[in-house]
């Protein structure tokens, strides 16, 4: 079964690349419009020497922004879930902020915070904080009533109830938010690099497209996609180690 799960996607990818390669050469599509996979591979080999430096720069922004977002989103989600006044006061504003396209406010953020790492962190934070916050609040509010009644019957304080019942119950929800957030943080980092950075995969993409080098741009996009997949898998592995039962529950739904 596991072999099948590997072979089928691999075969599909190979077929797609073969069709792409044949179509480009068969229809004589110019490389500046759509490069063949073989040309993309050649471009990846050409930039292999500088690629690690750009990957490291993007990864720094992604991980820093994700850590900052997690540190803000989880406490905020807890606050929204346990205090109705806080929820009514802040939640509509947070929904509004999340509805604003980050690409539209990115230039404003650059003016406010400068062209350094700070602006890219703010952009990354804006992109990925909302799903983590909502997942945290949802998990805490989902705590079964009987668990809470049992806690009250033992005379546990609210803090004890939060730490020993509500937060453990919310942990799988929080990890779901983190898995979404880590992939969104890659998007946020790249948007920031499009505008402010002189290094990183986002900068590499902008530089390549400016020179009509789509092969290099696509190679950079593939590197971004692989980074996102690896980061997602790392978060999932952490969840698997800490909460193995939650992974099994997800696979059954």
pLDDT at 160: 87
pLDDT at 10: 86
| pLDDT range class, residue 253, cuts 50, 70, 90 | very low
Return the closest-CA partner of residue 253 out of 140, 176, 149, 138. 176
Chain centre distance of CA 37 = 26
Q: With 50 as the cut, is the pLDDT of residue 106 above it?
A: yes
* Fold exhibited by the domain 39-252: MetI-like fold (1.10.3720)
The mean predicted confidence, pLDDT, of the chain is 90
**pLDDT tens sequence across 164-202:** 889 999 999 999 999 999 999 999 999 999 988 788 999
Q: Is 230 exposed, middle or buried (0-12, 13-18, 19+ CB in 10 A)?
A: exposed
**pLDDT tens sequence across 139-158:** 999 988 888 888 888 888 88
Tell me how crowded residue 111 is: count the other CB atoms within 10 A of its CB.
10
H helices of 27-166, in order, are: 37-46, 51-82, 84-99, 102-113, 117-141, 145-153, 158-161
> Which residues have C-beta within 8 Å of that of residue 156, sequence separation ≥ 6?
164
> Which residues have C-beta within 8 Å of that of residue 11, sequence separation ≥ 6?
none
| pLDDT range class, residue 128, cuts 50, 70, 90 | very high
What mean pLDDT do residues 81-106 have? Answer: 90
pLDDT at 86: 86
Task: List b or e across 129-168, with b for residues whose CB sees 16 or more CB atoms inside 10 angstroms.
Answer: bbbbbbbbbbbbbebeeeeeeebeeeebeeeebbeebbbe
Q: With 90 as the cut, is the pLDDT of residue 124 above it?
A: yes
Q: With 70 as the cut, is the pLDDT of residue 1 above it?
A: no
């Amino acid at each position: 079964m596991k072999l099948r799960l590997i072979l089928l996607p691999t075969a599909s990818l190979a077929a797609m690349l073969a069709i792409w390669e044949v179509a480009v050469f068969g229809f004589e599509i110019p490389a500046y419009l759509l490069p063949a996979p073989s040309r993309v591979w050649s471009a990846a080999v050409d930039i292999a020497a500088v690629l690690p430096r750009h990957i490291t720069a993007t990864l720094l922004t992604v991980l820093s922004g994700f850590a900052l977002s997690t540190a803000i989103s989880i406490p905020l989600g807890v606050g929204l879930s346990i205090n109705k006044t806080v929820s009514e006061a802040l939640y509509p504003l947070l929904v509004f902020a999340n509805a604003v396209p980050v690409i539209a406010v990115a230039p404003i953020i650059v003016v406010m915070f400068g062209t350094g790492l700070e602006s890219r962190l703010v952009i990354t934070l804006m992109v990925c904080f909302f799903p983590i916050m909502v997942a945290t609040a949802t998990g805490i509010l989902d705590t079964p009533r009987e668990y809470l009644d049992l806690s009250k019957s033992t005379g546990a304080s609210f803090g004890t109830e939060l730490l020993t019942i509500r937060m453990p119950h919310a942990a799988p929800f929080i990890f779901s938010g983190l898995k979404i957030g880590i992939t969104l943080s890659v998007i946020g980092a790249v948007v920031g690099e499009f505008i402010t950075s002189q290094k990183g995969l986002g900068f590499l993409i902008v530089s390549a497209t400016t020179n009509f080098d789509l092969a290099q741009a696509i190679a950079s996009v593939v590197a971004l996609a692989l980074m996102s997949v690896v980061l997602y898998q790392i978060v999932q592995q952490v969840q698997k180690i800490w909460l193995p039962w939650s992974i099994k529950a997800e696979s059954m739904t």
